[in-house]
Structure 1
Amino acid sequence: MILRKPIALEDDASNRSWHNSSWSRAPLRWQLAIVTALMVAAAVGIMTIVAYWTVSTSLNRSVDSQLESVARSMLSRSVDPAFNKRIETEIESFKAYNPDTNILYFPPGASRGIGDNIPLVNEGEVIRGEIPISFRNQGDQRVLALNNEVGATVVLAQDLGPTYALVSSLGMVLLIIAGLGTLMAIAAGMVVSTTGLRPVSRLQRAVEHVTETDSLEPIEVVGRDELAQLTRSFNDMLESLEASRRRQTELVADAGHELKTPLTSLRTNIELLMIVSNSPTATISNEDRRDLEKDVIAQIEELSTLIGDLVDLAREDSRVQNAEFVDLGDTMSNALDRVRRRRPDVKFDFVRTDWYLFGDSFALGRAVVNLMDNAAKWSPPNGVVRLNMQPISDSEIHISVADSGPGIPAADRAKVFERFFRSVQARSMPGSGLGLSIVKKVVERHHGTIEVLDSDDGGTLMQITLPGSASEAIIRAQHPEEKLATEH
């Protein structure tokens, strides 16, 4: 069997581009089948080569062993002095039993051999007694030369034609087996790929169904293998998409409902003002006109606040955050300054301490502003809103905002963070019902919690728990990339 070195493909850019594009466009089923077939074919090929080499080597060794055994048997009789006298008879007897083997015998000390004409190449070293034995190939013959202790030498040449024919037949059989094994490997690869990719096909059909029908129904999970885990992950994604869609639908519905009331009132007041302005017979007192104008301005402000809250809520739902190093004390001080300018009629007490964390400074400031605005709204005239920062451990802090208002009923405390929820007492007050919902989302995004408690004087206490540290160095060490961003 002759093995030829495979022709190497040129590793140029065009070949790589063709291979990558053709392979990547092939169906995954075919890719798996081809890879499986190549691996099995390589294994079958290696096993075929090893089997051929092993059998061929064993046959050659068997021939050498048989030749050496025959030669030693012949030389064992040469010790008898009478052997050399009947050498021709012995040779004829040998050839009668070994018709496919030529023999040339050299008596001790002789320079010419007796027997068949066998060309000598390196057998002279054996004849002279320099080496005891030698083997070589000559055409289709295996030539052996063996010398014994008395100086006699026998040279044997055995025809290897039958052996070569047997080896060739063996190689052909192994080649046929390798071919059949490759075909079976391709068939097995197709079966394995088809069976193994059946869940993937089912997942693909489900994705196409979602694309075509916009339906987010989960897929049936079969088994516990990796494909089943992939299906579960896909179902989790569908569930998240369904929840996101549901939140968007609820937000649009609630926003439309909340926008409808101020828009209706605004439209009514504007139409009334237009009627009074355009009709010479319609009259209205200056006081009523001023009241209508104040209502219009208040409704416009209410719409602006509601739209701003909706934008803030959509921003929190998107989970986009500008992560940065935050000095929480500075953030709360800045928020307090903004609220004081808007509510000069309310007194604010702020107990500050050093606290640092990694998060969204703007969102945290907006959350604190919402809490203080809410507390100021419910505080009585000349009331006091108390803002306090109190570390409860090395890694957590309480931020509390307390007022002296009527407080929140226990039955409503679990609902105050829902979108657009307004208690019976709050419905007569301005507001959209989104402020506390935004606060909760900001706090949860910073891995904190918020709860509603009673203040010391019977009002409401909003208490936030946030992670962080009183040491600036610790927070900066935990987020070295923020330090680099600051330096650059």
Structure 2
Amino acid sequence: MILRKYSDIPDEELSPSDPRVHEAGTPIRWRLSLLTTLIVAVAVGAITLVTYWTVSGILTASVDAELDQNATGVISRSENLGSIAGIREDIEQFKLYHPDIRVAVQPGEDSLSYGDAIQFVAPDIPPGADLGTTVQTIGNERVLAKRYSDGTTIVLAQDMARTHDLISALGSVMLGICLLGILLSIVAGAFVSTTGLRPLVRFQRAVDRITHTDELKPIQVHGSDELAQLSISFNEMVETLQESRRRQSSLIADAGHELKTPLTSIRTNVELLLMVLNSGQTIPDDERRDIKHDVIAQLDEMATLINDLVDLARDDGEANPSTVEIDLDQVIDAALTRVERRHPDLTFDVDSEPWPMIGESAALERAVLNLLGNAGKWSPPGGTVRVRLHDGRLEVSDSGPGIAVDEREKVFERFYRSDESRSMPGSGLGLSIVQQTVLRHGGSVWVEESDDGGAKLVATFPGLTR
């Protein structure tokens, strides 16, 4: 088997639908790193914005609350003084303690306001309420206006420069935190992608090693996650390939060994004929007849062996066999028609019932034919081969010498032949083909002893579920 790297395969051998054909793109490691970076960056950015807006709102609300509290204090002191001079004096005293706040008071009975000139929107008093309040930002000031039911209005305006500076400093800090978070997310993304893809890198190296060296070596499994399961599946695939390669090598070696015998015999006979012809001598008719029969027999043995090898190779390599609904009883009848011509001196006692199933008609007929042929080969002249099919259980019994208990498993091995069978015709592959076909159809096959001491081969097949 010759394995080629992808780069060694000419472009004209690859169709557009070939899974090896793909557009060059960003490596998955960088895509995973970028995705991790984006997720972390978005999360950090969102948290930063929410924090900025929340703190800004809290600071502004704090200013509003302080203005409302100061406005309540000013109006209460102005009511106690009860004179314009007192109001002005109270305003001046208030500004001594609050230099960053401007204040204006408009008594209810007066249309004039006292204090600072402040632009504001007069609040409306809701029905049933004692006062109305408005808060707004005008220029760089936060302006609060409170109007009481008697018409008295007080306005406070606080410079927001310090608050804005504080919010700007907070924004700078949050921006720095955001940038630092993005930087850390890049590092984290690279770490996660490198760590997460490390098993895939090992997997790729293992595949490349097999591609370059043709060495079927499993990879180590770490952990129990999905990647570990992928490694386990890969190792199982490697084991399957190793077993397939071992069986292939064994089949080739065994086939070569089995082919030597008929080839050696044919070569010996041909050399004998050539030697006689070259010496000018003649071969008696009876010896020529024996040589002819011997060569024909060896050719028949080679043809049988080659046909069996072709059947085994076809069964091994057929990934998606064509299966149809068949009746096993009819398959047996077809095989009997063929085997009776080969063994006219035997009697075939058949008792079968219909058994519908899903399978390969040709493969099943070949397997049944091998079972019947094996029984016919070992039956004595004038003997009887008994065939029974009931409930998906096929039994083929002969009256031969039987099979020893310690050899009943071995007879299904390829090219296995017992000492008694070495002088018998056959390739040693018939029962191996039977077992392979039965197993592929979901059944099982084994050897028992028949009622008269011969061999009984039993095969079971699953029926068709309606």
Give the Å deviation of 1:279. Answer: 4.2
> 1:227-242 counterparts in 2 under 5 A?
227-242=227-242
* Paired AA for residue 282 in structure 1: Q
- Three-state SS of the structure 1 residue aligned to 2:170 is helix
Give the Cα–Cα distance (whole angstroms) in 1 for the partners of residues 33 and 386 of structure 2.
72
* Paired AA for residue 466 in structure 1: F
Give the Cα–Cα distance (whole angstroms) in 1 for the partners of residues 79 and 114 of structure 2.
17
Stretch moving more, 207-216 or 54-63: 207-216
Give the Å deviation of 1:167. Answer: 1.1
Give the Cα–Cα distance (whole angstroms) in 2 for the partners of residues 85 and 114 of structure 1.
10
Listed one character per residue, the Cα deviations across residues 432-471 of structure 1 (whole Å, up to 9, x for unaligned) are 00000111111111221111111122211101122115xx
Give the Cα–Cα distance (whole angstroms) in 2 for the partners of residues 341 and 140 of structure 1.
115
- Three-state SS of the structure 1 residue aligned to 2:220 is coil
Matched positions, count: 443
The answer to whether the aligner puts 1:290 opposite 2:285 as a matched pair is no
Q: Give the unaligned 5+ runs of structure 2.
A: 1-21
> 1:261-410 counterparts in 2 under 5 A?
261-276=261-276, 278-279=277-278, 281-318=280-317, 320=319, 321-391=321-391, 397-410=392-405
Stretch moving more, 431-440 or 85-94: 85-94
Give the Cα–Cα distance (whole angstroms) in 1 for the partners of residues 244 and 435 of structure 2.
18
Give the Cα–Cα distance (whole angstroms) in 1 for the partners of residues 167 and 220 of structure 2.
57
Listed one character per residue, the Cα deviations across residues 124-180 of structure 1 (whole Å, up to 9, x for unaligned) are 535999961111221222111112343311112222122122111111111111111
Give the Cα–Cα distance (whole angstroms) in 1 for the partners of residues 327 and 170 of structure 2.
84
Call closer, same or farther: CA 1:155–1:416 in 2, change over 3 Å. same
Give the Cα–Cα distance (whole angstroms) in 2 for the partners of residues 414 and 254 of structure 1.
18
* Paired AA for residue 197 in structure 1: L
2:422 corresponds to which of 421, 427, 432: 427
Give the Cα–Cα distance (whole angstroms) in 2 for the partners of residues 144 and 126 of structure 1.
14
Q: Specify the alignment match of 2:431 in structure 1.
A: 436
Give the Cα–Cα distance (whole angstroms) in 2 for the partners of residues 406 and 454 of structure 1.
10
Give the Cα–Cα distance (whole angstroms) in 1 for the partners of residues 330 and 162 of structure 2.
99
> 1:51-450 counterparts in 2 under 5 A?
51-80=51-80, 82-120=82-120, 122-123=121-122, 125=124, 132-276=132-276, 278-279=277-278, 281-318=280-317, 320=319, 321-391=321-391, 397-450=392-445
Listed one character per residue, the Cα deviations across residues 336-381 of structure 1 (whole Å, up to 9, x for unaligned) are 2222233323221221212122222221111101000111111111
- Three-state SS of the structure 2 residue aligned to 1:166 is helix
Judge conservation of contact 1:79–1:150 (CA < 8 Å) in 2.
no
Judge conservation of contact 1:440–1:449 (CA < 8 Å) in 2.
yes
Judge conservation of contact 2:388–2:395 (CA < 8 Å) in 1.
yes
Listed one character per residue, the Cα deviations across residues 4-28 of structure 1 (whole Å, up to 9, x for unaligned) are xxxxxxxxxxxxxxxxx88x73333
Give the Cα–Cα distance (whole angstroms) in 1 for the partners of residues 76 and 270 of structure 2.
135
- Three-state SS of the structure 2 residue aligned to 1:132 is strand
Stretch moving more, 130-139 or 455-464: 130-139
Give the Cα–Cα distance (whole angstroms) in 1 for the partners of residues 371 and 83 of structure 2.
125
* Paired AA for residue 107 in structure 1: P
Call closer, same or farther: CA 1:89–1:106 in 2, change over 3 Å. same
Judge conservation of contact 2:414–2:429 (CA < 8 Å) in 1.
yes
Call closer, same or farther: CA 1:260–1:83 in 2, change over 3 Å. farther
Give the Cα–Cα distance (whole angstroms) in 1 for the partners of residues 228 and 39 of structure 2.
26
TM-score computed with the length of structure 1 as normaliser: 0.85
Give the Cα–Cα distance (whole angstroms) in 1 for the partners of residues 62 and 390 of structure 2.
94
Please tell me the root mean square deviation across aligned C-alpha atoms, in Å: 2.3
* Paired AA for residue 436 in structure 2: K
Give the Cα–Cα distance (whole angstroms) in 1 for the partners of residues 159 and 114 of structure 2.
19
Q: Specify the alignment match of 1:486 in structure 2.
A: none
- Three-state SS of the structure 2 residue aligned to 1:467 is coil
In percent, how many aligned pairs have the same letter?
Answer: 50
Call closer, same or farther: CA 1:127–1:90 in 2, change over 3 Å. farther
Q: Give the unaligned 5+ runs of structure 1.
A: 1-20, 392-396, 470-474, 478-488
Give the Cα–Cα distance (whole angstroms) in 2 for the partners of residues 221 and 130 of structure 1.
79
Q: Specify the alignment match of 1:15 in structure 2.
A: none
Stretch moving more, 338-347 or 161-170: 338-347
Give the Å deviation of 1:218. Answer: 2.8
Judge conservation of contact 2:131–2:148 (CA < 8 Å) in 1.
no
* Paired AA for residue 47 in structure 1: I
